[in-house]
Amino acid sequence: NGLEYLSETDNSNKAPLALLEASSSQPDYKSYPGRLRTFANWPNREIAKEVLAKAGFYYKNESDIVQCAYCYIEGYHWVAGDDPLKDHRTWSPACPFTPQELADAGFYYLGTGDQTICFHCGGGLKDWEQNDSPWEQHALWFPKCSYVYLMKGPEYIQEVKDKRNPRPSASSSESETKESAKEAKAEEAVAASSADEEKDKTGEEKTLCKICYKNEVGVVFLPCGHVVACVECSSTLKNCAICRKPLEATVRAFLS
């Protein structure tokens, strides 16, 4: 597809088809009051102009056509019940104004065009297309990213690979064998850790992340085998939060 790796020497001018050139005459469109002022003659009573402006759109003074001040995607034919912000995210997932889906997949905005980079593996992607899935593209281009592995699991990464019909290689087969070995060790670690914790803890307390105290634990630390952190917190650690041993690997765990 239209995605490309980012590099410091990349001078490509390629951009998604959904994006248009910005006009220097509309700098105020990136502020809510500036966008709202464009709706003075808004003709469509099916949807409030305030809702559209808050979703990043300004009115083009033509029919009910609105345009994003950041990614320049257009929307029109609005009807009662439409959710402009949700539609915006669907049409233009890489838009800096609607970053939630990208953020969930580990990416943050670099401030130029639609360039994004993963906070964990450092992999960068740009030239996003309308139907791109941030998670899928992350798994496709950076399958060894630990954040993707922990959040989505090895099965998801393999599904993405299979969808693109990659050719198997000796190195990838060896890697998968190592991951299988890690998973086997993790299952043993989960069983041992769960048995020990069962003696002293019950219910919700037993499965609560000991770092954020908000999410459920979901990661096994190897080689120590401790299960004390959720996926989000574990991705920021280099040492076990309990025994302080350096982490050689982390494996997603699903505790019942």
Q: From CA 171, how far away is CA 177, in angstroms rounded?
A: 10
What are the residue ranges of CATH 3.30.40.10 in the chain?
A: 181-252
Segment 79-95 mean pLDDT: 84
Name the residue among 164, 165, 168, 173 with its Cα closest to residue 137: 164
User: What DSSP state is assigned to residue 239?
Assistant: B
What are the residue ranges of CATH 1.10.1170.10 in the chain?
A: 4-12+96-161, 27-91
pLDDT of residue 62: 94
**pLDDT tens track for 165-223:** 655 444 444 555 555 554 554 445 444 444 454 444 455 566 787 777 778 888 887 88
Highest mean pLDDT among 122-131, 196-205, 223-232: 223-232
**pLDDT tens track for 101-120:** 777 888 876 666 667 778 77
The pLDDT mean for the chain works out to 72
pLDDT of residue 187: 47
The answer on pLDDT for 97 being more than 90 is no
Task: Determine what percent of the chain falls in helix, strand and coil, rounding each to the nearest 5.
Answer: 35, 10, 50
Q: From CA 86, how far away is CA 230, in angstroms rounded?
A: 28
CATH of domain 181-252: 3.30.40.10
Q: From CA 55, how far away is CA 71, in angstroms rounded?
A: 12
More confident call, 198 vs 125 = 125
pLDDT class for 152, splitting at 50, 70, 90? confident
CB 163 within 8 A of CB 230: no
Domain 27-91 has CATH 2.30.42.10: no
**pLDDT tens track for 25-73:** 445 787 788 889 999 999 999 999 998 988 889 999 999 999 998 888 9
- The model's pTM is 0.38
Residue type, 178: K
Q: Please state which architecture CATH assigns to domain 4-12+96-161.
A: Orthogonal Bundle (1.10)
CA geometry: angle 157, 221, 137, nearest 5 deg: 20
